[in-house]
Copies of this chain bind each other. A is one copy, B any other.
Amino acid sequence: MCRFVLYRGEPITIDTLTTRPKNSIIHQSFQSQLGEQPLNGDGFGLAWYVPDLSDSPALFRSTQPAWNDRNLQQLAEVSKSHLILAHVRAATGDTDVSQANCHPFVGGRFVFMHNGSVANYHQVRRGWMQTLRDESYDQVRGQTDSELMFALFLGELGDSNGIGPMSEAVQNVIRRAERTRTEQKIEEPNFLNLAVTNGREVVATRFASDNATPRSLFFAQGEGCECEDGEFLTKTTGTHQQEPSRAASTVIASEPLSDQPLWTEVAPGQLLTISSDDRLTNEPIRI
């Protein structure tokens, strides 16, 4: 069912998220603690921003399991960024294990990932495809519900940018999914943990239809972060766990990367944002 992690803050090497923590995203590829299943071995992906060189992110995706990809390990050690997204995939439905189906998805300066599933996607897909504008239609290269939601997101966003429009566009995608589910009388819930960034700001959601329990989602904040002997640590500011606030570094992750008590669970139905001045907000998704 996939697991993901997103980091924004003081530049860190990618292995701080992917390899070194006890419950790194690579560890989650074969032994996820809180996922629907322990195994997320159907490919992986990594995106990170290098703003000095490009507004668009670097992207590395592979159909190999994350745990046995040497390129992933080697790149993670010598690539540093202030904004990193990583994803390990468990294929759903009848989708191929192909690079085009690996998250994250990149469109221009935007990066998108998803943990969950659109209910009865098979039945939903064609109708959604038809609503896309031509340029968004052409951006859909694979078979996943996730990539199509990214195309819908980009369509909703249009030429806008910034935290408000991104937040609105993400919620519009969730509303669309819920409306379709109602119209088509689908009983299975949608599971829509989404994360998107424009290279500066971040929006993430934890959502499931009706009273279903959404996929797990956590965050941690601090004045920086590091990983020593497998323990992922943020230098905590003391107050952030009660009231999300401004911090130099924020991690949003499907499950904690470590056992330290620095992780806050995101409540179901919440939307997180990280502003360009490092402020974390937390508000209900408006459906």
By a beta-carbon cutoff of 8 Å, the part of chain A in contact with chain B is 13, 30, 38-39, 41-42, 50, 52-54, 56-65, 67-68, 70-71, 74-75, 77-80, 91, 96-100, 122, 126, 129-130, 134, 137-138, 141, 143
- Cβ of B71 and Cβ of A62 under 8 Å apart? yes
Separation of A27 and B228 alpha carbons in the complex (Å): 36
C-alpha spacing A162/B134, complex, angstroms = 38
Residue from B13, B50, B143 within 8 A of A78 (CB atoms): B50
Contact B96 A141 (CB under 8 A): yes
CB-CB < 8 A to A129: which residues of B? 129
* A78 in contact with B53 (CB, 8 Å): yes
Q: In the bound complex, do residue B98 and residue A74 qualify as a contact, i.e. CB atoms below 8 Å apart?
A: no
Q: How far is the CB of A65 from chain B (nearest CB, A)?
A: 6
Among B30, B53, B71, contact of A77 (Cβ-Cβ < 8 Å) = B53
Q: A68-B42, A97-B68, A100-B96 are in contact. Are A143 and B143 (CB under 8 A)?
A: no
> Oligomeric state, in number of copies?
4
Q: Could you tell me the distance in whole angstroms from the C-beta of A220 to the nearest C-beta in chain B?
A: 23
Beta-carbon nearest neighbor of A50 in chain B: B78
A112 CB, nearest partner CB in chain B, Å: 16
Are A141 and B143 touching (Cβ within 8 A)? yes
Given contacts A99-B96, A130-B130, A137-B126, A65 and B41 within 8 Å (CB-CB): yes
Whether the pair B58, A75 counts as a contact (CB closer than 8 A) is yes
Q: Which residues of B contact A63 (CB under 8 A)?
A: 64
A126 to B38, CA, bound (A): 38
For A138, the chain B residues whose CB sits under 8 A away are 122
Are B60 and A74 in contact, CB atoms less than 8 angstroms apart? yes
How far apart sit A54 and B80, CA to CA, in the bound complex (Å)?
11
**In the bound complex, how far is the Cα of B54 from the Cα of A213, in angstroms?**
43
Q: How far is B106's CA from A77's CA once the two chains are assembled, in angstroms?
A: 14
CB neighbours (8 Å) of A68 from chain B are 41-42, 91, 97
> Given known contacts A52-B80, A122-B138, what 20 new A-B pairs fall within 8 Å (CB)?
A30-B39, A41-B41, A41-B67, A42-B68, A50-B78, A50-B80, A53-B78, A53-B80, A54-B78, A57-B78, A58-B75, A58-B79, A65-B65, A68-B97, A71-B71, A75-B75, A96-B99, A96-B100, A126-B134, A129-B129
